[in-house]
Structure 1
Amino acid sequence: MLAANRSLRLTIYALLAAILYLPGLGRPALWEPDEGRYAEIAREMVLSRDYVTPRDDFELYFEKPPLVYWAEAAAIRIFGPNEFAVRLPAALFSIGQVVVTAALADLMFGATAGFFAALVLALSPLFFGFARFATLDPALAFFLTAALATFYLAAREDSFSTPSARRWMLISAAMLAMGTLAKGPIALLLAGAIALAWLAIERRLREIVRMPLVWCGLIYAAIVLPWFILMEARNPGFLRFFFIHEHLERYTTSSEHGWGPWFFIPIVIGGMWPWIFFVPLGWSAMHANIALPNSAPDLSRRSDASFPAIWFIVIFVFFSIPRSKLGSYILPALPPLAIVAGYGLARLQALTDASRRRLFAVIAIANLVLAVALFIFFVLARRPINKAIGFDGLLIAAVLAASAIAMYALGRTATRVPYAVGALALAMLATVPLSARIRENAASISTYRDLARAVQPYLAADCALASYRHYVQSLPFYTSNRETRVEYWGELSEVSPPTSAKSAFLIGSDARLRQIWSSGSCMVLIANDRDLKALDDSLKPAPVVIGCEGKKFALYNGALAPPPSAAACLETNVKK
């Protein structure tokens, strides 16, 4: 039974999402490279009290706007420099996105559709994963969702010139401005394209003249321009780098994270599993103008169906065009799918018995196939897998298989449909702690918290921290020490190219490294396992292993004895 008051319903959804996303938020170590990078930029803002110019390892970093750094810095000031603080903004933005998505579905199609939209989005694997990951995309997704929702509310009015519509448009402009400060002009570009495409399809383009575009522009500029103006004043050339290099050139020419145009198809299917199967049902019901119980009579228009469709298509196509892609880019496209799937779930009981059984049979078979695939992967994989990860993977496979059987058995009759959906939701809920535990147990793949703890005692007496031909983004955050990079410039060179003036923190050759290593200056050098033999042969005195994690080893040239745990590192290296 849903609460009668919409505000109360949304508050409940927010609380449930918080219960889902916040517990254990700080347990996993920071994942390389993104979490380590954004955590360190925020920490350096707090340390320097310069909240205008982002810096990574105290080098200028111009690739992204500052809003998420500001949010992480605020959390660090409250909770200290830890994993919980740097992930908290992503969790809060995700909670907000669940609420906004539910509110929009509620207004469009009624309370039942709003409830299911919240359920679908909150328990979608991709959305849940990034709600607990310190990156910029949850913030962009939240502000873009809020901007589109408030634009749609304005469009529902009799005219864009009514006071209510004007207020919604001004709020939409403010949300787009915040989205721009979260990840750049992509927020304005996507929202504008979606709004224009929808107005064109609805044959309402002439209504643009009634919009308060001047006031929207002033609000957008008042929020966005101060930071950009300050950045250009303090860092001449920033605007060209940010807009031309980081956005235009990266979209049109970059092959970083290169993938084909098909990349987001499996990402969307897997990221929305198993709720993606209810999208066709919701879509067909929307186009048939089938109204839900308790929904207002004027909310069954086909325009209600076209808006989430255009929303999803524009974002999906836009991010599919360039070669440079990451799975998190598609996050802003999940809310419209959640709304459509939520509508489909709300329509389940109205289906004929035969149609409903076919749908549940398809979902059950798909879940069973996925369960078998996971079982085969974790049991028969050629390379040995961490036993804890394998066990949790098998548990997820068992949960999916059990939910498939329970859902099909319960969904055969209309009166038990809520129990079938409940079985599916409980199964996804059960995979949440298992997935979180898999991430923690996979720490050795791309996290270095334990390595930082191992080297911390050796950095106390002005001992330099350096990395050989790579840069471990999280080490400065964990050790509070600047990281000298050896023969590696990486993305930091795009703004701060290596020069002789920066030789203290940029070592340009092996010869220079050997000179510093043998000079008597204390150094902890982080190296990949493939470089250990060459370094052992070339560095004098011979490097002493003081710690390791994953493929990275900490080498030391000082007088302190290695800890007892270093013996395990040596054994690991011998086995490799």
Structure 2
Amino acid sequence: MRKRLPAGTYLFILAVITGTAYFINLGYNDIWNPNEGFYADAVRHLLQNNNLLDFFFNNEYRFNKPPVTYWVIALSCRLFGLSEFSIRLPIVLLALGTCFFTGSISGMLFGKKTALWSGLVMAVSFQFLINTRYAAPEIPLTFFFTLTMYFFVRFIVYRKPFALWSAWISLGVTMLVKGYPYLIIITAIMASYAFFSTGRNFRNFVHELKQYRILTGIVISLLIGMSWPFYSWIKFGNDFLHVLDTETTYRAFRYQADWFRDLFFFPLVMLWGFLPYSLVFIPVAIASAARADYRRELLFPFVWGAIILMVFTIARFKLPTYFIQAHPAMAVVTGWYLGQSRFSFGFERWIKRLGIFLPGMVFIMVFLAAMSLLNTGHYYLLLLLLPASSLILSYRNSDKRWILGTFPLTALVALFLLFTASVLPSLEKVRPYKEIGAAIRSRSDGKNSYVYLENRFLHNLPYYSRQKTAAISSGALQKISVQVPYFLLAEEKDTMAVAQGSTLWKGIVYKKNSEAAFFPFLLSYYHYLHGDSSGFRKYRLLMVFPGKNILPQGYPERE
């Protein structure tokens, strides 16, 4: 009899391929606008100043986020040098760690059979996957959030005190990634789980909370999580408190009129953000919630996801990235289903059609469209052997159901490999930020100056130029009062009237400040490839020499 590839071995091979894909061309792209620019420049200042507590962006204090994201990036840059790769490396490592702990949670709750599935589902959840490509707090937050949940699950399964105290310490670190609201969210998950797991009996509920050492744990988490905010308040006073209020209280409670649309914001985010398995998770979650035995079995991931959904639906300010912290819980539920057959044949048939084949075919069509429209090499068609292997092996293998479930995963990994290997590197043709920064540094001779940008602000330019950067209107180009040589990045048509300037660089720049809305940027690039450059503007970088070369008041000092 011919030997067949075990499903577990195939899943492990896919895990290795997916993990490797995270690293492909990781440092190739310039720093992305706007969010990555904040962290790149802040870490540059941190290393330059040897100050782990005070953060700067564009030569100004930055209070907007707690320190852990800066610290992990700074550690990487200290070890490997300041570069795009070392800035993004800790994000990828924390992403892989998140997948590992997601699988570990699934393994503790449901056994080893589901652990690899849950980790893989987490690794390819669409919104999580795309956030691994740039430095921002979302992945560190998801890692420490998941780490907290991992230690909490270890405690409720094994009742080991070390796991409990590790959970409270991890919660404190989570607060140092994104702020004190996560103390409320995670303690709400713990308390809700205690309430439902004790049969909603108040006396048993109180006893369970005592087992969690909840008051002592909250104190430990507060001591860790509020240490940096307390330091910043002592040092900077109301300046810090104003930013803290804007970043937390205002976002949570500011008035928004369209409450009906807000109600469906995160369910829609769940639908596209958890692809390719959202169309598996949603019907499985609904069907499982309708059965008492499955509700009990899936209680912890259900409570985890439900609390995040409720909290951020109530909060007034909404971003899709807020829901990434629910993805590990959703991956655990999805892995539980994919690892073991639990439903009727009719239900399974519809899941196979709607949740497995449909997303897989959609991603293959997107793959082919991207190849055709963005002029990638035809040899990238070989990547489609990945989803093809899933279909072929499922047909020829006794573990048919297990391997068939990998079809949407392999289709998305093939698409991700196409983007990391070809599409994202090709975008650098219209992203000249490093080149602009190098031109500025080559003429600044290590001295501080100013960089003025006409009608816009590029958040990665302070990092690349090593200079104070400011936006200026077109009408003010002739009114710049700086009396030392400065740099001006302006539209080519507007630089003709600037006297006493020498051209350092000229080329095209994306006309919008943000590349975070990636699809419009990609669409502009597609049009550019086909002769329509309306999504970009022709810019010229000048070094301007005023008449008097004296140091004006307010000239930035070197740090």
Give TM-score, length-normalised by structure 1: 0.75
Shift of 1:116: 0.5
In the superposition, relative to structure 1, how do residues 118 and 392 fare at CA in structure 2: closer, same or farther (>3 Å)? farther
Partners in 1 of 2:14 and 2:349 — Cα distance? 30
Aligned to 2:170: 175
Shift of 1:344: 1.2
Which whole-Å deviations, capped at 9, do the CAs of 1:262-287 have from their partners, x for residues lacking one?
Answer: 44344322332222232246436755
Quote the Cα distance in structure 1 between the aligned partners of 2:313 and 2:379: 30
Aligned position for 1:491: none
Q: Cα offset for 1:351? A: 5.8
Task: Report the residue type matching 1:205 in the other structure.
Answer: F
Change (3 A) 1:432 1:392: farther
Does the residue aligned with 1:65 lie in a helix, a strand or coil? coil
Q: Which amino acid in 2 is paired with 1:173?
A: W
Whether contact under 8 Å (2:151, 2:163) holds in the other structure is yes
Q: Give the aligned partner of residue 275 of structure 1.
A: 277
342, 348, 352: which one aligns with 1:360: 352
Q: Specify whether residues 378 and 101 from structure 1 end up closer, same or farther in structure 2 by C-alpha distance, changes over 3 A only.
A: same
1:313 paired with 2:299, answer: no
1:540 paired residue number: 499
* Total equivalences in the alignment: 500
* Structure-1 residue corresponding to 2:485: 522
- For the Cα contact (< 8 Å) 1:486–1:508, is it kept in 2? no
Residue 205 of structure 2 aligns with which residue? 205
Tell me the alpha carbon deviations over residues 235-266 of structure 1, each in whole angstroms, 9 at most, x when there is no partner: 122552243222101232288xx995544344
Q: CA deviation at 1:32?
A: 0.5
Shift of 1:54: 1.1
**1:387 match:** 375
Show the 5 A alignment for 1:326-365: 326-348=319-341, 355-362=347-354, 363-365=356-358
In structure 2, the residue matched to 1:459 is: 444
Question: 1:333: how far off?
Answer: 0.9
2:29 paired residue number? 28
2:456 aligned with 1:470: yes
The alignment-based identity, stated in percent, is 21
Q: Give the 3 Å change call, closer, same or farther, for CA 233–526 of structure 1 in structure 2.
A: same
Q: How far, CA to CA, are the matches of 1:238 and 1:179 in structure 2?
A: 24
TM alignment of 1:84-95, pairs within 5 A: 84-95=85-96
2:410 alignment partner in structure 1 = 426
- Output the aligned Cα RMSD: 3.9
| Partner AA of 1:364 in structure 2 | F
User: Aligned partners of 2:254, 2:268: CA distance in 1, in Å?
Assistant: 24
The residue correspondences of 1:14-25 to structure 2 (distance < 5 A) are 18-25=19-26
Once the two structures are TM-superposed, the CA of residue 187 in structure 1 deviates from its matched residue by: 1.8
Answer whether contact 2:454 2:471 (CA < 8 A) is retained: yes
User: What secondary structure does 1:26 align onto?
Assistant: coil
1:52 corresponds to: 53
Distance 1:321 1:411 in 2: 46
Distance 1:509 1:175 in 2: 50
Letter in 1 for 2:415: T
Deviation at 1:102, TM superposition (A): 0.4
Contact 1:154 1:165 in 2 (8 A): yes
Partner AA of 1:536 in structure 2: M
Residues 261 and 323, structure 1, Cα contact 8 Å, conserved in 2: no
Residues 1:420 and 1:81: Cα distance change in structure 2 (over 3 Å): same
Aligned match of 2:556: none
Question: Are the structure 2 counterparts of residues 393 and 312 from structure 1 closer, same or farther at C-alpha, using a change threshold of 3 Å?
Answer: farther
Q: Look up the equivalent residue of 1:451 and give its one-letter code.
A: I
Residue in 1 that maps onto 2:434? 449
In the alignment, is the contact (CA less than 8 A) between 1:29 and 1:440 conserved in 2?
no
Partner SS state of residue 121, structure 1:
helix
Cα distance in 1 for partners of 2:287, 2:318 equals 33
Residue 394 of structure 1, CA deviation: 10
CA pair 508-61 structure 1, distance change in 2 beyond 3 A: farther
Shift of 1:109: 0.8
Q: Which amino acid aligns with 2:488?
A: L
**1: distance between equivalents of 2:188 and 2:401?**
38
Tell me by how many angstroms 1:472 deviates.
1.9
In the TM superposition, 1:295-310 aligns within 5 A as 302-310=295-303
Cα distance, 1:486 vs structure 2: 3.9
CA spacing shift, 1:229–1:413, aligned 2, 3 Å? closer
Deviation at 1:103, TM superposition (A): 0.6
CA distance in 1: counterparts of 2:370 and 2:418, whole angstroms: 16
Tell me by how many angstroms 1:70 deviates: 1.0
CA distance in 2, matches of 1:56, 1:366: 41
Whole-Å Cα distance in 1 between the matches of residues 212 and 94 of structure 2? 28
| C-alpha distance in structure 2 between counterparts of 1:187 and 1:136, whole Å | 13
Structure 1 unaligned blocks of 5 or more: 158-163, 291-299, 380-384, 489-506, 560-576
Instruction: Check 1:447–1:41 CA distance in 2 against 1; reply closer, same or farther (3 A cut).
Output: farther
Letter in 1 for 2:457: Y
Deviations 1:314-356 (A, max 9, x none): 22333344554333222111001111111111124x6666544
Q: Distance in 2 between matches of 1:458 and 1:545?
A: 9
Match of 1:417 in 2: 401
Q: Which amino acid aligns with 1:278?
A: V
Return closer, same or farther for 1:222/1:251 CA change in 2, 3 Å cut-off: closer
Q: What amino acid is the match of 2:205?
A: L
- 1:94 shift after superposition: 1.0
CA-CA distance at 1:374 after TM superposition: 7.2
Can you list the C-alpha shifts for 1:290-313, whole angstroms capped at 9, x where unaligned?
A: 9xxxxxxxxx76333122122112
1:466-520 CA-to-partner distances (Å, cap 9, x unmatched) read: 32343322223223x22231448xxxxxxxxxxxxxxxxxx9954541x44xx5x
Query: Is the CA contact 2:126–2:273 (under 8 Å) kept in the aligned structure 1?
Result: yes
Confirm or deny: 8 A CA contact 2:277 2:408 kept in the other structure.
no
Q: Distance in 1 between matches of 2:502 and 2:193?
A: 64
Higher relative contact order (CA 8 A, sep 6+): 2
